[in-house]
Amino acid sequence: MSNRHRGSWIAGGVLLLVALSSLIVPALSPYDYYTPQLDLISKPPMLQGGHLLGTDPLGRDLLIRVLWGCRISLLIALVASGISVGLGVLWGATAGYAGGTIDALMMRTVDVLYSVPFVPFVIVLTVLFGHELWLMFVAIGAVSWLDIARIVRGETLSLKRREFIEAARVSGVRGARMIGRHIVPNLLGVVIIYATLTVPTVILFEAFMSFLGVGVRVPLASLGSLIADGASDMQAHPHLLLVPAAVLAAIVYCFNFLGDGLRDLLDPRQQS
Protein backbone atom coordinates (compact mmCIF):
# COMPACT_ATOMS: atom_id res chain seq x y z
CA MET A 1 0.00 0.00 0.00
CA SER A 2 2.55 2.52 -1.15
CA ASN A 3 2.03 6.20 -1.65
CA ARG A 4 1.76 5.63 -5.37
CA HIS A 5 -1.34 3.53 -4.89
CA ARG A 6 -3.15 5.70 -2.40
CA GLY A 7 -5.47 6.94 -5.15
CA SER A 8 -6.40 3.41 -6.14
CA TRP A 9 -7.21 2.41 -2.57
CA ILE A 10 -9.36 5.49 -2.10
CA ALA A 11 -11.10 4.83 -5.42
CA GLY A 12 -11.73 1.21 -4.42
CA GLY A 13 -13.07 2.35 -1.06
CA VAL A 14 -15.44 4.86 -2.62
CA LEU A 15 -16.78 2.25 -5.06
CA LEU A 16 -17.27 -0.22 -2.24
CA LEU A 17 -19.10 2.43 -0.22
CA VAL A 18 -21.37 3.28 -3.14
CA ALA A 19 -22.08 -0.40 -3.82
CA LEU A 20 -22.81 -1.21 -0.17
CA SER A 21 -25.00 1.81 0.44
CA SER A 22 -26.94 1.16 -2.77
CA LEU A 23 -27.68 -2.29 -1.37
CA ILE A 24 -28.35 -1.35 2.25
CA VAL A 25 -29.80 2.15 2.39
CA PRO A 26 -32.94 1.55 0.25
CA ALA A 27 -33.86 -1.33 2.57
CA LEU A 28 -33.57 0.85 5.67
CA SER A 29 -35.10 4.03 4.32
CA PRO A 30 -38.76 4.82 4.98
CA TYR A 31 -39.03 5.89 1.32
CA ASP A 32 -39.06 3.82 -1.86
CA TYR A 33 -38.29 4.71 -5.46
CA TYR A 34 -41.84 4.55 -6.81
CA THR A 35 -44.42 6.02 -4.39
CA PRO A 36 -45.31 9.62 -5.32
CA GLN A 37 -45.73 12.23 -2.57
CA LEU A 38 -47.74 14.96 -4.19
CA ASP A 39 -47.14 17.47 -1.39
CA LEU A 40 -43.34 17.27 -1.86
CA ILE A 41 -42.85 18.02 -5.56
CA SER A 42 -39.29 18.90 -6.70
CA LYS A 43 -38.06 19.98 -3.30
CA PRO A 44 -34.38 20.96 -2.98
CA PRO A 45 -32.18 19.03 -0.50
CA MET A 46 -33.56 19.39 3.01
CA LEU A 47 -33.21 17.82 6.41
CA GLN A 48 -36.91 17.90 7.16
CA GLY A 49 -38.44 14.49 6.48
CA GLY A 50 -34.97 13.12 5.73
CA HIS A 51 -34.94 13.97 2.01
CA LEU A 52 -31.20 14.68 2.08
CA LEU A 53 -30.93 15.16 -1.68
CA GLY A 54 -34.40 16.55 -2.20
CA THR A 55 -37.24 15.04 -4.21
CA ASP A 56 -38.15 14.67 -7.89
CA PRO A 57 -41.19 16.11 -9.76
CA LEU A 58 -43.35 13.30 -8.36
CA GLY A 59 -42.16 13.85 -4.81
CA ARG A 60 -40.01 10.70 -4.69
CA ASP A 61 -36.84 10.76 -2.58
CA LEU A 62 -33.88 11.50 -4.87
CA LEU A 63 -31.29 9.78 -2.68
CA ILE A 64 -33.16 6.48 -2.90
CA ARG A 65 -33.66 6.85 -6.63
CA VAL A 66 -29.99 7.63 -7.15
CA LEU A 67 -28.96 4.62 -5.07
CA TRP A 68 -31.26 2.41 -7.13
CA GLY A 69 -29.68 3.92 -10.21
CA CYS A 70 -26.25 3.00 -8.83
CA ARG A 71 -27.42 -0.56 -8.36
CA ILE A 72 -28.43 -0.80 -11.99
CA SER A 73 -25.31 0.93 -13.30
CA LEU A 74 -22.90 -1.07 -11.15
CA LEU A 75 -24.66 -4.31 -12.03
CA ILE A 76 -24.29 -3.51 -15.70
CA ALA A 77 -20.63 -2.64 -15.13
CA LEU A 78 -20.12 -5.97 -13.37
CA VAL A 79 -21.85 -8.00 -16.05
CA ALA A 80 -20.10 -6.22 -18.91
CA SER A 81 -16.63 -6.43 -17.42
CA GLY A 82 -17.23 -10.03 -16.37
CA ILE A 83 -18.27 -11.03 -19.87
CA SER A 84 -15.59 -9.00 -21.61
CA VAL A 85 -12.81 -10.27 -19.38
CA GLY A 86 -14.03 -13.85 -19.22
CA LEU A 87 -15.26 -14.48 -22.73
CA GLY A 88 -13.13 -11.87 -24.51
CA VAL A 89 -9.84 -13.03 -23.03
CA LEU A 90 -10.54 -16.73 -23.54
CA TRP A 91 -11.79 -16.16 -27.06
CA GLY A 92 -8.92 -13.91 -28.10
CA ALA A 93 -6.20 -15.99 -26.45
CA THR A 94 -7.51 -19.21 -27.93
CA ALA A 95 -7.78 -17.73 -31.41
CA GLY A 96 -4.35 -16.14 -31.24
CA TYR A 97 -2.65 -19.19 -29.82
CA ALA A 98 -4.32 -21.72 -32.09
CA GLY A 99 -3.81 -19.68 -35.25
CA GLY A 100 -4.75 -20.90 -38.72
CA THR A 101 -8.31 -21.93 -39.50
CA ILE A 102 -9.50 -21.82 -35.88
CA ASP A 103 -8.20 -18.27 -35.56
CA ALA A 104 -9.87 -17.22 -38.81
CA LEU A 105 -13.23 -18.73 -37.85
CA MET A 106 -13.23 -17.24 -34.36
CA MET A 107 -12.21 -13.78 -35.46
CA ARG A 108 -14.69 -13.71 -38.37
CA THR A 109 -17.39 -14.49 -35.82
CA VAL A 110 -16.25 -11.43 -33.89
CA ASP A 111 -16.33 -9.37 -37.08
CA VAL A 112 -19.90 -10.46 -37.81
CA LEU A 113 -21.09 -9.56 -34.30
CA TYR A 114 -19.21 -6.31 -34.58
CA SER A 115 -21.08 -5.33 -37.70
CA VAL A 116 -24.53 -5.67 -36.08
CA PRO A 117 -25.88 -2.12 -35.78
CA PHE A 118 -26.24 -1.89 -32.08
CA VAL A 119 -28.91 0.67 -31.26
CA PRO A 120 -31.47 -0.68 -33.78
CA PHE A 121 -30.62 -4.17 -32.46
CA VAL A 122 -31.55 -3.17 -28.91
CA ILE A 123 -34.71 -1.45 -30.11
CA VAL A 124 -35.75 -4.57 -32.05
CA LEU A 125 -35.10 -6.69 -28.95
CA THR A 126 -37.23 -4.29 -26.91
CA VAL A 127 -40.04 -4.53 -29.44
CA LEU A 128 -39.87 -8.33 -29.51
CA PHE A 129 -39.50 -9.05 -25.81
CA GLY A 130 -41.00 -5.98 -24.20
CA HIS A 131 -39.28 -3.53 -21.95
CA GLU A 132 -37.20 -5.89 -19.84
CA LEU A 133 -34.07 -5.07 -17.86
CA TRP A 134 -32.32 -8.31 -18.78
CA LEU A 135 -32.42 -7.30 -22.45
CA MET A 136 -30.04 -4.54 -21.52
CA PHE A 137 -27.63 -7.09 -20.10
CA VAL A 138 -27.92 -9.35 -23.12
CA ALA A 139 -27.31 -6.48 -25.48
CA ILE A 140 -24.34 -5.05 -23.61
CA GLY A 141 -22.94 -8.51 -22.95
CA ALA A 142 -23.14 -9.36 -26.64
CA VAL A 143 -20.88 -6.52 -27.71
CA SER A 144 -18.67 -5.65 -24.76
CA TRP A 145 -16.28 -8.58 -25.28
CA LEU A 146 -15.60 -7.97 -28.97
CA ASP A 147 -12.99 -5.25 -28.56
CA ILE A 148 -11.11 -7.09 -25.89
CA ALA A 149 -11.11 -10.32 -27.90
CA ARG A 150 -9.37 -8.48 -30.74
CA ILE A 151 -6.86 -6.79 -28.47
CA VAL A 152 -6.08 -10.01 -26.64
CA ARG A 153 -5.65 -11.91 -29.88
CA GLY A 154 -3.14 -9.36 -31.09
CA GLU A 155 -1.22 -9.48 -27.84
CA THR A 156 -1.27 -13.27 -27.90
CA LEU A 157 0.23 -13.32 -31.37
CA SER A 158 3.25 -11.38 -30.16
CA LEU A 159 3.40 -13.27 -26.86
CA LYS A 160 3.44 -16.57 -28.73
CA ARG A 161 6.83 -15.73 -30.19
CA ARG A 162 8.36 -14.89 -26.81
CA GLU A 163 11.07 -17.16 -25.55
CA PHE A 164 9.42 -18.24 -22.33
CA ILE A 165 6.45 -19.55 -24.30
CA GLU A 166 8.85 -21.62 -26.41
CA ALA A 167 10.59 -22.72 -23.23
CA ALA A 168 7.24 -23.92 -21.89
CA ARG A 169 6.54 -25.67 -25.18
CA VAL A 170 9.81 -27.56 -25.10
CA SER A 171 8.93 -28.58 -21.55
CA GLY A 172 5.89 -30.29 -23.02
CA VAL A 173 3.26 -27.73 -21.95
CA ARG A 174 0.40 -27.36 -24.41
CA GLY A 175 -3.21 -26.46 -25.05
CA ALA A 176 -5.37 -25.17 -22.23
CA ARG A 177 -2.53 -25.27 -19.71
CA MET A 178 -0.37 -23.10 -21.94
CA ILE A 179 -3.15 -20.56 -22.43
CA GLY A 180 -4.21 -20.57 -18.79
CA ARG A 181 -0.82 -20.46 -17.11
CA HIS A 182 1.52 -18.81 -19.56
CA ILE A 183 -0.47 -16.67 -21.97
CA VAL A 184 -3.31 -15.22 -19.90
CA PRO A 185 -1.28 -14.02 -16.88
CA ASN A 186 0.98 -12.12 -19.23
CA LEU A 187 -2.04 -10.43 -20.76
CA LEU A 188 -3.29 -9.15 -17.41
CA GLY A 189 -1.83 -5.66 -17.70
CA VAL A 190 -3.57 -4.96 -20.99
CA VAL A 191 -6.76 -6.72 -19.99
CA ILE A 192 -7.24 -4.89 -16.70
CA ILE A 193 -6.65 -1.50 -18.25
CA TYR A 194 -9.04 -2.30 -21.02
CA ALA A 195 -11.66 -3.76 -18.67
CA THR A 196 -11.62 -0.64 -16.51
CA LEU A 197 -12.07 1.40 -19.67
CA THR A 198 -14.98 -0.83 -20.63
CA VAL A 199 -16.80 -0.21 -17.36
CA PRO A 200 -17.30 3.54 -17.80
CA THR A 201 -18.17 2.98 -21.45
CA VAL A 202 -20.99 0.56 -20.68
CA ILE A 203 -22.28 2.68 -17.79
CA LEU A 204 -22.43 5.62 -20.15
CA PHE A 205 -23.96 3.42 -22.82
CA GLU A 206 -26.70 2.31 -20.46
CA ALA A 207 -27.25 5.97 -19.59
CA PHE A 208 -27.56 6.67 -23.31
CA MET A 209 -30.04 3.85 -23.86
CA SER A 210 -32.12 4.98 -20.90
CA PHE A 211 -31.98 8.52 -22.22
CA LEU A 212 -33.43 7.19 -25.50
CA GLY A 213 -36.09 5.39 -23.49
CA VAL A 214 -35.09 1.80 -24.24
CA GLY A 215 -33.21 1.20 -20.99
CA VAL A 216 -34.77 0.66 -17.60
CA ARG A 217 -38.54 0.81 -17.26
CA VAL A 218 -40.24 3.47 -15.15
CA PRO A 219 -40.65 3.81 -12.25
CA LEU A 220 -37.26 2.10 -11.81
CA ALA A 221 -34.39 4.47 -12.49
CA SER A 222 -30.82 4.17 -13.62
CA LEU A 223 -28.27 6.94 -13.37
CA GLY A 224 -28.78 7.52 -17.08
CA SER A 225 -32.53 7.92 -16.89
CA LEU A 226 -32.22 10.16 -13.82
CA ILE A 227 -29.84 12.42 -15.71
CA ALA A 228 -32.20 12.46 -18.68
CA ASP A 229 -35.14 13.44 -16.46
CA GLY A 230 -33.05 15.98 -14.60
CA ALA A 231 -31.82 17.56 -17.82
CA SER A 232 -35.36 18.35 -18.89
CA ASP A 233 -35.93 20.28 -15.70
CA MET A 234 -32.49 21.69 -15.06
CA GLN A 235 -33.32 25.36 -14.99
CA ALA A 236 -36.00 25.15 -12.34
CA HIS A 237 -34.49 22.31 -10.27
CA PRO A 238 -30.76 21.90 -10.99
CA HIS A 239 -30.27 19.35 -8.18
CA LEU A 240 -32.23 16.77 -10.20
CA LEU A 241 -29.48 16.88 -12.84
CA LEU A 242 -26.44 17.63 -10.70
CA VAL A 243 -26.80 14.86 -8.13
CA PRO A 244 -27.03 11.84 -10.47
CA ALA A 245 -24.48 13.39 -12.85
CA ALA A 246 -21.98 13.88 -10.03
CA VAL A 247 -22.48 10.31 -8.81
CA LEU A 248 -21.99 8.94 -12.31
CA ALA A 249 -18.85 11.01 -12.81
CA ALA A 250 -17.47 9.85 -9.47
CA ILE A 251 -18.10 6.18 -10.28
CA VAL A 252 -16.49 6.41 -13.71
CA TYR A 253 -13.52 8.29 -12.30
CA CYS A 254 -13.02 5.74 -9.53
CA PHE A 255 -13.03 2.86 -12.00
CA ASN A 256 -10.25 4.48 -14.00
CA PHE A 257 -8.14 4.86 -10.87
CA LEU A 258 -8.87 1.35 -9.71
CA GLY A 259 -7.59 -0.12 -12.98
CA ASP A 260 -4.12 1.34 -12.54
CA GLY A 261 -3.85 0.00 -9.02
CA LEU A 262 -5.17 -3.46 -9.90
CA ARG A 263 -2.68 -3.83 -12.72
CA ASP A 264 0.24 -3.03 -10.44
CA LEU A 265 -1.14 -5.21 -7.67
CA LEU A 266 -1.34 -8.28 -9.90
CA ASP A 267 2.05 -7.81 -11.58
CA PRO A 268 4.81 -9.47 -9.54
CA ARG A 269 7.39 -7.18 -11.17
CA GLN A 270 5.74 -4.15 -9.59
CA GLN A 271 6.04 -5.47 -6.06
CA SER A 272 8.99 -4.75 -3.86
Q: Which residues contribute to the site for another protein (CB under 8 A)? A: 162-164, 166-174, 177, 181-182, 185-186, 188, 267-269
Question: Toward another protein, which CB reaches closer, 130 or 268?
Answer: 268
The CA distance from 203 to 50, in Å, is: 29
CA distances from 270 to 10, 38, 152, 249 (A): 19, 57, 22, 29
- Closest distance of CB 186 from another protein, Å: 6
Residue 102 or 218: the one with the smaller Cβ distance to another protein is: 102
Q: Rank residues 51 and 153 by Cβ distance to another protein and give the closer one.
A: 153
| Shortest Å distance, C-beta 80 to another protein | 26
**Rounded to an integer, what distance in angstroms lies between the CA atom of residue 63 and that of residue 51?**
7
Of 4 and 169, the one with the shorter C-beta distance to another protein is 169
Instruction: Identify which of residues 89 and 199 has a Cβ nearer to another protein in the complex.
Output: 89
Q: How far apart are CA 209 and CA 96, in angstroms?
A: 33
Distance CA 199, CA 79 (A): 9
* Closest distance of CB 177 from another protein, Å: 7
CB 239 within 8 A of CB 53: yes
CB of 160 to another protein, least distance (A): 11
Nearest to 138 by CA among 168, 118, 167: 118
Least separation, in Å, of the C-beta of 189 and another protein? 10
Residue with Cβ nearer another protein (144 or 186):
186
CA angle 119/123/125 to nearest 5° reads 115
CB of 193 to another protein, least distance (A): 16
- Residue 61 is classified by DSSP as B
Instruction: Give the residue with the Cβ less far from another protein, 51 or 263.
Output: 263
Cis peptide bond N-terminal to 57, omega within 30: no
Least distance to another protein, CB of residue 103, Å: 12
User: Partners of 55 in the beta sheet?
Assistant: 61
Specify the DSSP class assigned to residue 179.
Answer: I
- Cβ-Cβ contacts under 8 Å for 150 (sequence gap 6 or more): 92, 107, 110
Length of the chain measured in residues = 272
